[in-house]
A and B are shown apart, each in its own frame.
Chain A
């Protein structure tokens, strides 16, 4: 078993012998237009079934709710008033002063026009949109608890389910601190009727099996961009080497802070967090909870060494106590 917590290169940690750069997403929610093309492109490429109930979810324009076995990209819609925007600016500003890693813009990048650095007026209202996806954690709870080996770390540092190995035990579902992975229950992949008016034949694959984003592993091995990033019209979803993604993300946050938009902050870029940093990083405009993301995600297996240590200590203590008892009995 590899390292369970703290900074590491997950590919090397998984003992891949040939070197591939770790790949990941950078989702810049500040330029997301909420078109949901990522959701559709993902389902289309991966042939995932429809899983919405075909009823309004009562959550602004969001009708698919959350990431799950059949929805591997999910766009959240959050409507906020000016008070909440001001709070977000304040909390984002504090994050910086608390020593959030700041990286100056690389020389090659042109500096945006910086004549006016006064903070913009706080708008009265805003509508946040954010495309969520599997985090492909450095220390992946799902993978570390999987008893069958169905989940594996790819040569690109991502985490993928092998459908034909998974036995549907569901341990991974509890193992993910983000609630990403789930077992597929049902759903329909086909329209009610075929184009010639004949009734459709819904076919759902992988029912009962744990399912989640593969970062389009099948495209990646052919050097293709994952479907969601390929289709994103505004480049809100960027794909590339993890290191570059984090770098780009840090630059973008610095740029927005320079414009007075201090509500911007990174999510998942801190390798000291409870999952060792995520493979998919995000630029958010408010606290993670606002988007339905855990503020301090922690992989359950991170505590395994300590737990084993404690358990070991306790066992040793018990043994010692028992030994003492016997020793005492003899005396």
Chain B
């Protein structure tokens, strides 16, 4: 980021939530970069940016789409980059229909399941393979009847993120291209058509952004992109936590590809992760549908054999490194089951559990409410405060037989049974709750060693500073011992289902306190040679992994962190004592590479785009790629190389295919597969919105995951009766002074005194409209709950005029919770939120909701429930409200009057 000439921070409050990372923005600014903050609120980030552009929460795709449209129509795209490095020239299936053709739906939508059949989105493909490859065909070719589609089949069952960055398999050799970019079926022309209606006027209409501000933004990013300059985007959960969050980031990716800002210093899109090692927890995942290194979790019925499973990840005939997924998977299975993983049992593939559907945290939640879950572990998580629809979270826990909370303090998720909001409202009585709650004190990050993986994929080793007090233990020790105890219990079992547990390699060396050696775990993750002369030697690179069982490795992308037996994550050479890219500070996956796809920092001939932005280039004399970073490309693959059309994997890469994890080696302006809710991002309104969708009759993302339940009602949106009952938009966020749900900050006096009380932020206009007194009390009501807050009236909040009416936005930090143990407590903003999920990654839409605000404190006891119910009735909110899939023009989108709200909650996901 320090190398950027312009930084756009959107969907993130970087200075407040990532103050340490913000030093690089400060550095860039000191070097002359322009910093722009696009956000519903004027925050501490806005205060140190060159400009703040207020935006209506949930409208970002319109703004980004308009930037794309402007760049395309004014010929401001980086032509040489786009032609060589993106799929702009690739032809798309003839049967593809855009959302612009179908009033908000792409071709292939099934209204019953809410899912798309993606076959029509695929690349057009020449049946006999004669269509050429690697951009050598100059005109669209072939009778469409002879055409097949590249790589769409396997996608339906598997969520997008399960398939790694490369998506489902696809064969590169059969694709068709039009290098003139004129064929209407080229990605380039489809893109142009798709964003043609995303104009500055539309931006003003939908986002509430003035044309001058839009012009400033356009000027800033286009003047700071190209050969000599680069622009960087930074986002956080302000982009992801929407019912179409993945598409927000896709839109930015398209823009950055068009401007040639990917794979270059000071470019890219920085995904700011929420707290320490959240990146690590997706690399070596705590997610239900992923195995380490973004390998998918097998699905029952689809991936029954090892062969089926591997075929679904990658084709041996596709380009790039996903083609070696068999080696990564086999090495993982060898790391987990050692000698029990043999060629005869497909490396113990059948020991892996199988998915039978979505098993995310919110599906588990509803299963808990249905008494289908007996026990629950909470590790560093405080769902009673930190998760959407807090009441549902706490009620669900009351259905458990047992609950284990491992945390630093007695968080609200450990005490809801005695002092939670439902005890106060009378919905739960302590003596009736049968859940047995175990609290196990946990060691903090300074009381144990290990790695953090941060936003730049950098693994940094943390040395233990002090021993944990009393009974506090690290997670590593806890799970190691839990595993040991379970294995002891099962030791004599002859049951087949216990084999995976009994055959696990579970043999870490421990110290005098019983703490397993975390470096031994790191070494296992790195992997080693198992046979031959090198047996026992750590692997140096994932390219050494083999599918024949001769290597092990717990996470292929981390291979190299323990090369030569050295803990590279612990490297600590100060920045001023080493090269600019700082390769000797920590270790970045993969292969200690600091910028991904950095082949794109050189032109197709391998020369730097400019002296100023020189990073990785081809050295003719040495016959290899050289530069400031580890080249993200086969080291000796010369720029002009053309691969054998029958080749697969890395051998199939051309000398100008910088996007080596994509099945065609190109950056995807258009996603022919892998994104469940559309090949191109398009704007839909949030689940709850005060305005109707200006682009389509289709109001909401048709593929979103719904939880249509009585305890999760949705406010009516614009145009629906009752929308005026919850007229204001609220958005939730964090403050620098606290950490998420407060478990690490509200128990600390030094942090608690800095932000002691729950508050909301409103504009002076809204305060006047609702009679709110500065620093007085207010009650905020949503269809889920009502909370009380102190009122900060500030000009930092700006009312926006959107589609002819004024939209007021209310800001709500979500750090406080109701309980008796913390230094400070208060009502939780997450109690107001409903549950609707994004279909690709199953993230909740917690950045925007509808509410009402009124002066004064909220009622106590059962009267609180009465207040919430009274609003629901006035709004006519039922389980149907907002939960229809398709909004056809001319039809009444209001709830069915015959629906009885008292019937059993219906579920749909």
Contact status B795-A81, CB under 8 Å: yes
Residue of B nearest to A81 (CB): B795
Min CB–CB distance A237 → chain B (angstroms): 12
30 A/B residue pairs, CB under 8 Å, sorted by A:
A31-B26, A33-B45, A33-B736, A34-B736, A35-B16, A35-B19, A36-B736, A39-B754, A40-B751, A40-B754, A50-B749, A50-B752, A53-B753, A53-B756, A55-B757, A56-B757, A61-B755, A63-B753, A79-B794, A81-B795, A112-B30, A128-B47, A129-B44, A129-B47, A189-B749, A193-B409, A196-B470, A196-B471, A197-B410, A234-B23
| Contacts between chains A and B (CB distance < 8 A), count | 136
Contact status A126-B469, CB under 8 Å: no
Min CB–CB distance B450 → chain A (angstroms): 19
Residue of B nearest to A71 (CB): B753
Min CB–CB distance B746 → chain A (angstroms): 10
Q: Indicate if B733 sits at the interface (CB-CB under 8 A).
A: no
Min CB–CB distance B332 → chain A (angstroms): 36
Contact status B23-A233, CB under 8 Å: yes
In the complex, which residues 755-780 of chain B have their Cβ closer than 8 Å to any Cβ of chain A?
Answer: 755-757, 759, 774-775
Known: A58-B774, A190-B749. A195 touches B469 (CB 8 A): yes
Q: Indicate if B22 sits at the interface (CB-CB under 8 A).
A: yes
The complex places the Cα of A112 from the Cα of B29 at a distance, in Å, of: 10
Contact status A33-B749, CB under 8 Å: no
1/0 per residue, CB under 8 A from A, across B51-63: the answer is 1100000000000
The complex places the Cα of A119 from the Cα of B775 at a distance, in Å, of: 36
The complex places the Cα of A197 from the Cα of B408 at a distance, in Å, of: 10
Chain A positions within 8 Å of B790 at CB level: 56
Known: A34-B736, A55-B756, A55-B757. A79 touches B749 (CB 8 A): no
Min CB–CB distance A132 → chain B (angstroms): 15
Residue of B nearest to A187 (CB): B749
Contact status A125-B470, CB under 8 Å: no
Chain A positions within 8 Å of B22 at CB level: 33, 233-234
The complex places the Cα of A188 from the Cα of B823 at a distance, in Å, of: 11
Contact of B472 among A79, A193, A195 (CB under 8 A): A195
Q: Indicate if A99 sits at the interface (CB-CB under 8 A).
A: no
Q: Indicate if B402 sits at the interface (CB-CB under 8 A).
A: no
Q: Indicate if A120 sits at the interface (CB-CB under 8 A).
A: yes
The complex places the Cα of A58 from the Cα of B32 at a distance, in Å, of: 36
Known: A63-B753, A234-B26. A192 touches B19 (CB 8 A): no
Contact status B794-A60, CB under 8 Å: yes
Known: A35-B736, A50-B752, A55-B756. A193 touches B821 (CB 8 A): yes
Chain A positions within 8 Å of B19 at CB level: 33, 35, 37, 233-234
Min CB–CB distance A239 → chain B (angstroms): 16
Residue of A nearest to B45 (CB): A33
Residue of A nearest to B48 (CB): A33
1/0 per residue, CB under 8 A from B, across A267-286: the answer is 00000000000000000000
Contact status A54-B824, CB under 8 Å: yes
The complex places the Cα of A195 from the Cα of B467 at a distance, in Å, of: 14
Chain B positions within 8 Å of A32 at CB level: 48
Chain A positions within 8 Å of B757 at CB level: 54-56
Min CB–CB distance A35 → chain B (angstroms): 4
Q: Indicate if A303 sits at the interface (CB-CB under 8 A).
A: no
Min CB–CB distance B611 → chain A (angstroms): 16
Residues of B in contact (CB 8 Å), total 55
Min CB–CB distance B110 → chain A (angstroms): 48
The complex places the Cα of A289 from the Cα of B45 at a distance, in Å, of: 24
Contact of A125 among B469, B737, B796 (CB under 8 A): B796
Contact status A44-B42, CB under 8 Å: no
Closest 8 CB pairs of A and B: A52-B753, A50-B749, A113-B32, A127-B47, A33-B15, A54-B756, A35-B19, A234-B26
Q: Indicate if B750 sits at the interface (CB-CB under 8 A).
A: yes
The complex places the Cα of A13 from the Cα of B44 at a distance, in Å, of: 42
Q: Indicate if B441 sits at the interface (CB-CB under 8 A).
A: yes
Known: A54-B824, A120-B50. A35 touches B15 (CB 8 A): yes
The complex places the Cα of A262 from the Cα of B792 at a distance, in Å, of: 30
Chain B positions within 8 Å of A50 at CB level: 749-750, 752-753
Contact of A52 among B23, B747, B756 (CB under 8 A): B756
The complex places the Cα of A190 from the Cα of B725 at a distance, in Å, of: 45
Chain A positions within 8 Å of B775 at CB level: 56, 58
**In the complex, which of the residues A33, A127, A190 has the most CB atoms of chain B within 10 Å of its own CB atom?**
A33
Known: A33-B16, A36-B736, A125-B795. A54 touches B26 (CB 8 A): no
Residue of A nearest to B748 (CB): A191
Q: Indicate if B20 sits at the interface (CB-CB under 8 A).
A: yes
Q: Indicate if B46 sits at the interface (CB-CB under 8 A).
A: yes
1/0 per residue, CB under 8 A from A, across B822-856: the answer is 11100000000000000000000000000000000
Min CB–CB distance A77 → chain B (angstroms): 9
Contact status A40-B756, CB under 8 Å: no
Contact status A52-B754, CB under 8 Å: yes
Q: Indicate if A43 sits at the interface (CB-CB under 8 A).
A: yes
Q: Indicate if A225 sits at the interface (CB-CB under 8 A).
A: no
Contact of A191 among B50, B749, B795 (CB under 8 A): B749
Q: Indicate if A64 sits at the interface (CB-CB under 8 A).
A: yes
Q: Which residues of A contact B (CB under 8 A)?
A: 31-37, 39-40, 43-44, 49-56, 58, 60-61, 63-64, 79, 81, 112-113, 120, 123, 125-129, 188-193, 195-197, 233-235
Chain B positions within 8 Å of A196 at CB level: 441, 469-471
The complex places the Cα of A26 from the Cα of B46 at a distance, in Å, of: 23
Contact status B795-A79, CB under 8 Å: yes
The complex places the Cα of A234 from the Cα of B44 at a distance, in Å, of: 13
The complex places the Cα of A127 from the Cα of B39 at a distance, in Å, of: 15
Residue of B nearest to A52 (CB): B753
Contact status A33-B44, CB under 8 Å: yes
Residue of A nearest to B18 (CB): A233
The complex places the Cα of A43 from the Cα of B821 at a distance, in Å, of: 23
Contact status A44-B32, CB under 8 Å: no
Chain A positions within 8 Å of B441 at CB level: 195-196
Known: A64-B754, A196-B470. A36 touches B26 (CB 8 A): no
Contact status A54-B752, CB under 8 Å: yes
Known contacts A33-B15, A36-B737, then 14 further A-B pairs from the complex at CB < 8 Å, ordered by chain A residue: A40-B754, A53-B753, A53-B756, A54-B757, A55-B757, A56-B756, A63-B753, A112-B31, A125-B52, A125-B796, A127-B44, A197-B821, A233-B20, A235-B26
1/0 per residue, CB under 8 A from A, across B700-744: the answer is 000000000000000000000000000000000001110000000
The complex places the Cα of A150 from the Cα of B568 at a distance, in Å, of: 50
Contact status B759-A56, CB under 8 Å: yes
Min CB–CB distance B234 → chain A (angstroms): 14
1/0 per residue, CB under 8 A from A, across B520-540: the answer is 000000000000000000000
1/0 per residue, CB under 8 A from A, across B850-867: the answer is 000000000000000000
The complex places the Cα of A50 from the Cα of B754 at a distance, in Å, of: 10
Chain A positions within 8 Å of B30 at CB level: 31, 112
Chain B positions within 8 Å of A64 at CB level: 753-754
Chain B positions within 8 Å of A40 at CB level: 750-751, 754
Min CB–CB distance B17 → chain A (angstroms): 10
Min CB–CB distance B727 → chain A (angstroms): 25
Chain A positions within 8 Å of B48 at CB level: 31-33, 234
Chain A positions within 8 Å of B752 at CB level: 50, 54
The complex places the Cα of A173 from the Cα of B217 at a distance, in Å, of: 51
Min CB–CB distance B818 → chain A (angstroms): 16
Min CB–CB distance B780 → chain A (angstroms): 17
1/0 per residue, CB under 8 A from A, across B245-278: the answer is 0000000000000000000000000000000000
Chain A positions within 8 Å of B409 at CB level: 193, 195
Residue of B nearest to A236 (CB): B26
Contact status A195-B51, CB under 8 Å: no
The complex places the Cα of A129 from the Cα of B774 at a distance, in Å, of: 21
Min CB–CB distance A115 → chain B (angstroms): 9
**In the complex, which of the residues A37, A39, A61, A197 has the most CB atoms of chain B within 10 Å of its own CB atom?**
A61
The complex places the Cα of A53 from the Cα of B823 at a distance, in Å, of: 11
Residue of A nearest to B751 (CB): A40
Min CB–CB distance B735 → chain A (angstroms): 8
Contact status B747-A191, CB under 8 Å: yes
